[in-house]
Amino acid sequence: MKDKLQTAQVIISALPYIQKFRDKIFVVKYGGSAQLDENLKSDFIKDIALLQLVGCKVIVVHGGGKKINSYLDKLNIKSEFVDGLRVTDKEAMEVVEMVLSGNINKELTALLNKNGARAIGVSGKDANLLKAKTLNNGKYGFVGEIEYVNTAVLNGLLQNGLIPVVAPIATDDEANSYNINADLCASKIASALKAERVIFLTDTQGILDNDKKLISKLNESQINELKNTGVISGGMMPKVDAALECVKSGVKNAHILDGRLSHSLLLELFTDDGIGTMIRQ
């Protein structure tokens, strides 16, 4: 009986957050270990299904770096990272699009539907959802910078009770395909929709200080200081830049979470203390 009462108390403690977040838009960037470990993947799918069932409007933007690496290795196509971004030539772009739009996207969509959610998989090329130009004058090859998000498409899907599962591939007026960093893609979508929250699942606890302790809350000036001292560097840079762009564009809060922890999404959103780093104005 004691365990049952504790379960009931946990559910009741989440009630204020469920009421607060009903009909709000959440953009969730899904990647890293949470995407590769089958148990973590199952937990993530259930978290997203639950968010929809309690009335949240959820958009999932997924990465796929490790699976892309695997396919590029099999095909003997070289790949490198500069400034935390994958340099993508035309040959690699074909593999990136195949893996993101054709493999990972459809698997996630099918799993969400199997678990009681209503999801639809889309690429940024569908209905001109994401229009882009080459990033930094082609420094990274076919890596793009999003110039336009077709919010009418996303709002239409959300209003019809669907979860858009977005593969971060964009196009330009010449129908070229561009690889978009998934963190920056989630940021652009959240900013365009003025989402309630944007959440980035990573393979770290969040943002750590020099003593490797979690920093639970940050603002822009604190982030700049951590960049200048080298505490924030490498692959964390695009995530932090994406989070900052969101809150400066009208998104209420951005969260960087440890996707290696089961149900980290629910723990961050529906508990008082949360478990990751929250970035705000």
Q: Is 260 annotated for ligand binding?
A: no
pLDDT for 4 beyond 80: no
- Of residues 152 and 72, more confidence is placed in 152
pLDDT, residue 60, reads: 98
Q: Is 64 annotated for ligand binding?
A: yes
pLDDT, residue 17, reads: 83
Architecture of domain 23-279 in CATH?
3-Layer(aba) Sandwich (3.40)
pLDDT tens, 9-51? Answer: 777 888 888 899 999 999 999 988 788 889 999 999 999 999 9
- Of residues 236 and 123, more confidence is placed in 123
The mean pLDDT of 119-133, rounded to a whole number, is 96
Q: Is 116 annotated for ligand binding?
A: no
pLDDT, residue 1, reads: 65
- pLDDT over 90 percentage in the chain: 58
pLDDT for 194 beyond 70: yes
72 near 39, Cβ under 8 Å? no
pLDDT for 85 beyond 80: no
Q: Is 86 annotated for ligand binding?
A: yes
Domain ranges of the chain: 23-279
pLDDT tens, 99-124? Answer: 999 899 999 999 999 999 999 999 99
